[in-house]
Structure 1
Amino acid sequence: MQNFTTRPEIRGTFGVVTSTHWIASAVGMSILEKGGNAFDAAVATGFVLQVVEPHLNGPAGDLPVIFHSVRDDGPGVLCAQGPAPAAATIEAMKTRGIEDLIPGSGLLATVVPGAFDGWLLLLRDHGTMELADVLTPAIGYCADGHPLLASVAETIASMQPFFEKQWPTSAKVWCADGKKPTALSLFKNPDLAKTYGKLVDAAKGDTREARIDAARDEWRTGFVAEAIGNYLKDAKVMDVTGRRNSALLTQDDITAWSAHFEAPTKIDYHGWTLCKTGPWGQGPVLLQALQILKNFDIAAMDPYGAEFVHTVIEAIKLAYADREAYYGDPDFYDVPVDVLLSEEYGRERAKLISDKASLEQRPGVVEGHEHLAEAAIMRALRKMDVLQDAATGEPTMAHLTDVKGDTVHLDIIDRWGNAVSSTPSGGWLQSNPVVPGLGFGLNSRAQMFWLDEGLASSLKPGARPRTTLTPTIAYHKDGTLLSLGSPGGDQQDQWQLVWLLRMVHHGFDMQQGIDAPLFHSTHFQASFYPRAAESGEMMIEETIGKDVIQTLRDRGHEVAVAQANTVGRLTAAKRHPDGQLQAAATPRLMQAYAIGR
C-alpha cells in the first residue's frame, strides 16, 4: 500500500491550529497571530464551530478539554459536562412512561448546558484575552453569514417538515421565511448573534477575570437562564417516543452548576504517557485497550494487515465491554479505574483474544462490582424496538445518510508550548427546539443514562452522563507533546487507537496515519438511542484491500465495507523536542483543515 498523503505535513514554530472546519481553524490561527495563546485560540475556534457546524455542537452542549499548560508544567482536564437536573430520577422518567430508554431527542433528554460556561472558565484561568476578542468572530459569522456546509443544508432540509409541524421555533431559525437553506449559501443566525453580543456587553468589571465571570453569571442567572427557564415552564415537545414531553431541567439547575477542572487519567505505553478524562467520559477505554495490546507484538504486524486489524478489534471489544459495565460519574459511583487500567488486568483480558472473532459481550469481573458485569451482558442482549424519527442520536460517521447529531474537534499548540485538545458536542439543531430568542437549542445527553437501579451509569440527579467525548493529550519521554482527537461517538477512541498504534509501532507520520484506511467495531452496546449492540460487526474502509477483508470474514467478523475516505475525522497537532510544531487534519468530508507557520 502506498505511503502517500492527501495533504502536506503542516510544520512551523509559531503555532498550529487544526479543527473540523476550515473557517474555525483560520479563526484560531488569527487569534495566535494577534498574540493570543492556545487557550484564547481554542475558545475562539470553539465558538465559531458552534456557528458553522450547528448540527454537530452548540452553546448548550457538552465540552471536555484536555490541555497542557506551560505555566502549570503539566496536563489538566476541563469538565464542562452538564449533569442531570435535580428532578431527573428513574422514578420521574417511569411516571412519564419512559421505562427502558431515555429518548434520543427532546426535552426529557436534556441535562444542564455546559459548553458556554466551560469555554469561559478556560479563557478566564488560562487565556490572556477579553471575551469580546474571542467571541467577535463568531458574532460576525452569525450576523453576516457563513457559507453553509452541504451537510448542514441536508440536515436542515431533512428536518424541515418536522420543524414546521412540531418545532416551529427551530423552523424560524433554520428555515427562515419557510425556505430551506442551500449548500454554500450565506447562512445567518441573527438571534444567536444578539445572544452572544449581550453576553459580551455583560462582561464588565475591574479585572479581565471579573469581566469574564460577569458574562458567566449573565448566562447562569441572567437573560439566558431566564429565557430557558421561562420556555421550559410550559414547553412540551415531540420526541422519539411519539409523544410530547416536558423537561425535568429548570432555571435553578442552570444557576446552581458551573464547569470545573480536574486531573487527567493516565497510563504509560511504549515511551508515551497518555492523558484522558475520567470515566464520566469514555476516554479510559483507549487506555484499557492499550494495556491489553501491550501483550502483543504490534510492531511485528503489518499495519494494513488482517492480523493487526483483528487483534485491535478484539481488544476494542473487551475494553468497551468494560466501559458498558463500569463507567459512570465517579462522584456518584466508585468506578474501579485503578483495576481496569492496571497492567495485570490488561494481561488477563489479553488472554481472551484468539484467532477467531468473539461474538460475545465479555466484560471483566472486578471484585466488589461483580453484578455490573452480569447487568451489562443482559442489557446488551435486550431486544429493543428501533424507533425511527427525524430527531435521534449520534452517528457512526460511515453511514452518512441518517439525520443525527455528531461532534467537532480541535487541536491547538502555540509558540510557548501550550496545547489544547477538545471535542465539543451536543446542543445539535436536531436535538431540541430552539429556545425562543436565543438562537440555539438544548442538548439531549441524558439519553446515555440507564433507567436500571444500581448501575455505574444509572440516572441520578446531579450525575454526569457517561459521554463518548474523548480528546487526548500525550507526552513522549523525549519531550514530544501530542494533541489528538476526533468526532464520531463510540468510534472516537477506536480511530485514535488505530492512529496511535501505527504511529508508535510503525513510524507513521501524522497525516499518513490520518489518511490510512481506518476501521472500528460496532459489536458492543452503543451509547446513543436506541442503544443497540451488533454482535461481531465491524466496519472498515475498502482501501484496506479485498484479501484483508476476506481474511477477517474467515476469522468470523461480520465486516461492513465502507467506501474510501468515509470512516474517521481525526485531527492532530504535535510539538517536537526542538520546538517545531506540526499539524494534520482528515480529508474525509473535505472540511477539516490544519494551519500553521
Structure 2
Amino acid sequence: MTFTTRPEIKGTFGVVASTHWIASAVGMKILEEGGNAFDASAAMGFALCVVEPHLNGPLGDMPLMIRPTGDATPTMICGQGTAPAGATIEHYKAEGLTLIPGSGLLATVVPGAFGAWMLMLRDHGQLPLRAILEPAIHYARHGHPVLPRVAHTIAGLADFFRDEWPTSYATWLPGGNAPEPESLFKNPALADTWTRLLSEAEAVDGREAQIQAATDAFYKGFVAEMIDDYLRDACVMDAAGGRRKGVMTGQDMAEWSATKEAPLSVDYEDWTVWKGGTWTQGPTLLQSLMTLSGVDIAAMNLNGAEFVHTVTEAMKLSFADREAYYGDPDHTEIPVETLLSPDYAATRRAQIGAKASDQQRPGAIPGFEAWAEAAIDRAGRDFATGPGVGAGEPTMAHLTERRGDTVHIDVVDRWGNMVSATPSGGWLQSSPVVPGLGMPLNSRAQMFWLDEGLPTSLAPGRRPRTTLSPSMAAKRDGSLDLTFGTPGGDQQDQWQLIYFLRLVHGGLNLQEAIDAPLFHTGHFQASFYPRGTRPAHLMLEPNFGTAVIDDLRARGHDIEVAEPWTVGRLTAASRDRAGVLRGAATPRLMQAYAIGR
C-alpha cells in the first residue's frame, strides 16, 4: 500500500486547495455562496495576503492560469508588473550596485497581482467584489492566529525594522512587541485600505463597473497616490547594505494593466501540459519533459537513485537554458520554438551522463551564442553583497525565516472552471510598509541583471523573468483535467516536474504523489539576490533512505539531506470526465489544506 498522510479529497460540488487552511476555508465558503472558481480563488488570494504576509502581499505579483469550462486550452493572465520608467541600468550602477538588491525600494516593479485578480473577476467571476474582499477585511481587522513562522520572522527582524523601516515596525510589532505564535494578529491599516477601496468601487452601479472602479482606485487613485507620495522622499536600507531611494512613481502604476495571453504547451505521454511563457520559469518544466520523453521513466523506481539522478540532470540543463535564453518576449526575441522542439530535446538528452554534472551548460542555439556565453560567465562571478536582509525567496523550514516566499491556489468548481494561481512578492521582509496602506512593496526587480544586451537586462517597461509558475495539464482523450503548483522560488518547477512524473508513471493519486519524498538542485544560477550557484548540489528528504542517498553521492552529487518533511509545498486539484473532483495538499509545514465536497 502506498503511504499517504491524508485522504485525497473527492466530491462533485467543488474542491479548493491552498497553502493555508484559512484561505482554503474562505474559498469553500465562496463556492457555497454561489461563486465560481474565479470568485473563490480571488477571495483565497486576498486572504493569503493576511494570513501568510511573510510569503505574499497585495503589492506583489502573480501569474494566473485559468481554464473556463468549455475552453479547449487555458489562458494565462499576467499579473507580473513591469520595471518603472526610471529603472535603468545607468541609474542603478550610479547607485553603486552590481546586483539589484533583494529588498528595498530599488527592487520594486509595478505591483501586478491586484490587477490580475480584477481582470479575472471582471471577465469570469459571478459575485460582487464585496463578497471577495470581506473575508480578508475580517481577518485583517479582527485578527487571525498568527503562524509561528510569521511570528519568528517578525521577531528576527524587530531590530532592523525599528532602526531602518519604522513603518514596518509599527505594522508588524504593534506597541513595540512581536506577536507571540498563535496569538491573534491584526492589520487594521490593511483592513481600512480594502474598506475604502470597496466604498469607492460601490459608488458606481453594476458588478463589472465596480471592479473597474476598484482597479482604477488601486492603479490611478488613492493607492497609487499614497505609494507615489511615499516614494518621493523615502530613502531606506536595502539588502545591499545602503540607503537608497526608489524610482517607481504613480505614473508607472497608471500606465500598467494586466493582460491575457496563450500559455506554452508540450505533449508528454498521453497528456498535454501548459505553462506560462518565457517571462516565467515555466518552460523549464516543459523542456525537462521533452528531454525525458526519450527516457524510460516508467521502468524506473520513482523513489530510486536512477530516477533522482536522471531527472536532476535534465533539470540542470533546462535551468541552464532559463538563465541564458528566457526573458520578456514582448521586448526580446526568445528562441522558444527551438527550446521546446524534439530535435533540441534529443541533443540535451544526450548530455545526461552517468555522473552528476558540475558545469553550467546552456544549449547551443545558432544566433544566440552570446547569451549562452554570458550565462556561463555570470555563473562564475563572485558578487559583492550586503547583509541580505529580506533577500531571496527560499521556501522551507531548513532555510532562513528572514526571507520571503510564495503561496499557491488551486480551485475546480462544479461547472468545471479551473484556476491555478501563484501569488508572491510584497512580503513583510521585502520593503517597508507604505504609510497608511498596511502593505509593503514587492522586490521582483532583483531578477533583472545590470548587464547590457541580455533578455533579462533591466529596462523600463520590461517584465522580470519571474520564478512564479502555476501549471495545468489534461489527458488528451478528455478524461481528466489537472491543476497544480507550489511555492518555492527556483524549486517550483523542479517539484512540479517530479510530482507530474509520479502521477503519469507511478499510478499514484493526487495526495500520494504529493506525499512521496522530494528533491531539488541548487546547481544553477539562483534567481534571487545574491544570485549564487551551488555546482552539483542536490537536496533530498531523508525518507529516500540511506542506500539511495549513498548511491547518488557516489554518482558525484553534492548531497544535502533536508530535515524530514521539509521539501515542497505542492497542492493540486482535478476533474474527470464523470464530473468527480479531487483535491490534495502537502502536509509539509502543517499549513496547506484541500477542502471539497
Match for 2:360: what amino acid?
Q
Which residue in the other structure is 1:192 paired with? 190
Q: Could you tell me how far 1:398 is from its partner in structure 2?
A: 5.2
Q: Does 2:533 correspond to 1:528?
A: no
Match for 2:165: what amino acid?
W
Task: Give SS of 1:74's match.
Answer: coil
Q: Tell whether the 8 Å contact from 2:102 to 2:388 is kept in structure 1 after alignment.
A: no
Task: Give SS of 2:260's match.
Answer: strand
Task: Give SS of 1:43's match.
Answer: helix
Which residue in the other structure is 1:320 paired with? 319
Q: Tell whether the 8 Å contact from 2:356 to 2:536 is kept in structure 1 after alignment.
A: yes
Which residue in the other structure is 1:330 paired with? 329
Which residue in the other structure is 2:44 paired with? 45
Q: Does 2:572 correspond to 1:564?
A: no
Match for 1:492: what amino acid?
Q
Q: Tell whether the 8 Å contact from 2:395 to 2:487 is kept in structure 1 after alignment.
A: no
Q: Tell whether the 8 Å contact from 2:152 to 2:401 is kept in structure 1 after alignment.
A: no
Q: Does 2:434 correspond to 1:435?
A: yes
Which residue in the other structure is 2:487 paired with? 487
Which residue in the other structure is 1:589 paired with? 589
2:450 and 2:3 map into 1 onto residues whose CA distance is 48
2:355 and 2:85 map into 1 onto residues whose CA distance is 47
1:121 and 1:67 map into 2 onto residues whose CA distance is 12
Percent of aligned positions with the same letter in both sequences?
Answer: 60
**Corresponding residue to 1:142 among 140, 143, 147:** 140
Superposed CA offset, 1:110-135 (max 9, x none) = 00011111111111111111110100
Superposition pairs of residues 349-360 of structure 1, within 5 angstroms: 349-360=348-359
Superposed CA offset, 1:486-517 (max 9, x none) = 00000000000001111101111111110110
Q: Tell whether the 8 Å contact from 2:77 to 2:116 is kept in structure 1 after alignment.
A: yes
TM-score (norm 1): 0.99
Q: Tell whether the 8 Å contact from 1:396 to 1:490 is kept in structure 2 after alignment.
A: no
Which residue in the other structure is 1:510 paired with? 510
Match for 1:486: what amino acid?
T
2:64 and 2:388 map into 1 onto residues whose CA distance is 32
* Greater alpha carbon shift after TM alignment, 401-410 vs 48-57: 401-410
Q: Does 2:94 correspond to 1:95?
A: yes
Q: Could you tell me how far 1:207 is from its partner in structure 2?
A: 2.4
2:596 and 2:325 map into 1 onto residues whose CA distance is 40
Match for 2:110: what amino acid?
V
Q: Tell whether the 8 Å contact from 1:478 to 1:577 is kept in structure 2 after alignment.
A: no
Superposed CA offset, 1:194-246 (max 9, x none) = 00011111113332111110111011111101100000000000012221100
1:120 and 1:72 map into 2 onto residues whose CA distance is 20
Q: Could you tell me how far 1:477 is from its partner in structure 2?
A: 1.7
Superposed CA offset, 1:76-114 (max 9, x none) = 00101000001111111111111x210000001000011
Q: Could you tell me how far 1:478 is from its partner in structure 2?
A: 3.0
1:134 and 1:536 map into 2 onto residues whose CA distance is 45
Q: Tell whether the 8 Å contact from 1:277 to 1:470 is kept in structure 2 after alignment.
A: yes
Q: Does 2:366 correspond to 1:367?
A: yes
Superposition pairs of residues 385-424 of structure 1, within 5 angstroms: 385-397=384-396, 399-424=398-423
**Corresponding residue to 2:125 among 112, 124, 127:** 127
Match for 2:513: what amino acid?
G
1:141 and 1:207 map into 2 onto residues whose CA distance is 26
Q: Tell whether the 8 Å contact from 2:240 to 2:387 is kept in structure 1 after alignment.
A: no
In the TM superposition, structure 1's runs of 4+ consecutive aligned residues that sit over 4 Å from their partners are none
Q: Tell whether the 8 Å contact from 2:103 to 2:389 is kept in structure 1 after alignment.
A: no
Match for 1:481: what amino acid?
D
Match for 1:574: what amino acid?
S
Q: Tell whether the 8 Å contact from 1:540 to 1:560 is kept in structure 2 after alignment.
A: yes
Which residue in the other structure is 1:222 paired with? 221
1:82 and 1:260 map into 2 onto residues whose CA distance is 10
Match for 1:123: what amino acid?
L
1:426 and 1:148 map into 2 onto residues whose CA distance is 19
Q: Could you tell me how far 1:467 is from its partner in structure 2?
A: 0.4
2:168 and 2:38 map into 1 onto residues whose CA distance is 32
Q: Tell whether the 8 Å contact from 2:241 to 2:387 is kept in structure 1 after alignment.
A: no
Match for 1:190: what amino acid?
P
Q: Does 2:455 correspond to 1:456?
A: yes
Match for 2:594: what amino acid?
A
Match for 1:489: what amino acid?
G
1:499 and 1:457 map into 2 onto residues whose CA distance is 29
Match for 1:5: what amino acid?
T
Match for 1:566: what amino acid?
T
Which residue in the other structure is 1:470 paired with? 469
1:241 and 1:482 map into 2 onto residues whose CA distance is 41
The count of residues paired between Structure 1 and Structure 2 equals: 595
Q: Tell whether the 8 Å contact from 2:410 to 2:571 is kept in structure 1 after alignment.
A: yes
1:87 and 1:236 map into 2 onto residues whose CA distance is 16
Q: Tell whether the 8 Å contact from 1:18 to 1:410 is kept in structure 2 after alignment.
A: yes
Q: Tell whether the 8 Å contact from 1:329 to 1:463 is kept in structure 2 after alignment.
A: yes
Which residue in the other structure is 1:170 paired with? 168
Match for 2:272: what amino acid?
T
Task: Give SS of 1:202's match.
Answer: helix
1:263 and 1:38 map into 2 onto residues whose CA distance is 20
Q: Tell whether the 8 Å contact from 2:99 to 2:446 is kept in structure 1 after alignment.
A: yes
Q: Could you tell me how far 1:402 is from its partner in structure 2?
A: 4.0
Task: Give SS of 1:434's match.
Answer: coil
1:71 and 1:257 map into 2 onto residues whose CA distance is 30
Match for 1:419: what amino acid?
M
Q: Could you tell me how far 1:4 is from its partner in structure 2?
A: 1.4
Which residue in the other structure is 2:579 paired with? 579
Which residue in the other structure is 2:539 paired with? 539
Which residue in the other structure is 1:272 paired with? 271
Which residue in the other structure is 1:299 paired with? 298
TM-score (norm 2): 0.99
Which residue in the other structure is 1:116 paired with? 114
Superposed CA offset, 1:344-392 (max 9, x none) = 1101100001111111100001111111111100000112245333321
Q: Could you tell me how far 1:72 is from its partner in structure 2?
A: 4.0
Residues 398 and 370 of structure 1: is their aligned pair in 2 closer, same or farther, counting only changes over 3 Å?
farther
Match for 1:567: what amino acid?
V
Q: Could you tell me how far 1:71 is from its partner in structure 2?
A: 5.2
Match for 2:147: what amino acid?
L
1:364 and 1:400 map into 2 onto residues whose CA distance is 31
1:562 and 1:190 map into 2 onto residues whose CA distance is 38
Task: Give SS of 1:66's match.
Answer: strand
1:577 and 1:567 map into 2 onto residues whose CA distance is 32
1:375 and 1:363 map into 2 onto residues whose CA distance is 10
Q: Tell whether the 8 Å contact from 2:200 to 2:213 is kept in structure 1 after alignment.
A: yes
Which residue in the other structure is 1:155 paired with? 153
Match for 1:313: what amino acid?
T
Gap regions ≥5 residues in structure 2: none
Superposed CA offset, 1:435-478 (max 9, x none) = 00000010011000001110010001000000000000111123
Match for 1:548: what amino acid?
V
* Greater alpha carbon shift after TM alignment, 384-393 vs 195-204: 384-393
Match for 1:306: what amino acid?
A
2:320 and 2:72 map into 1 onto residues whose CA distance is 35
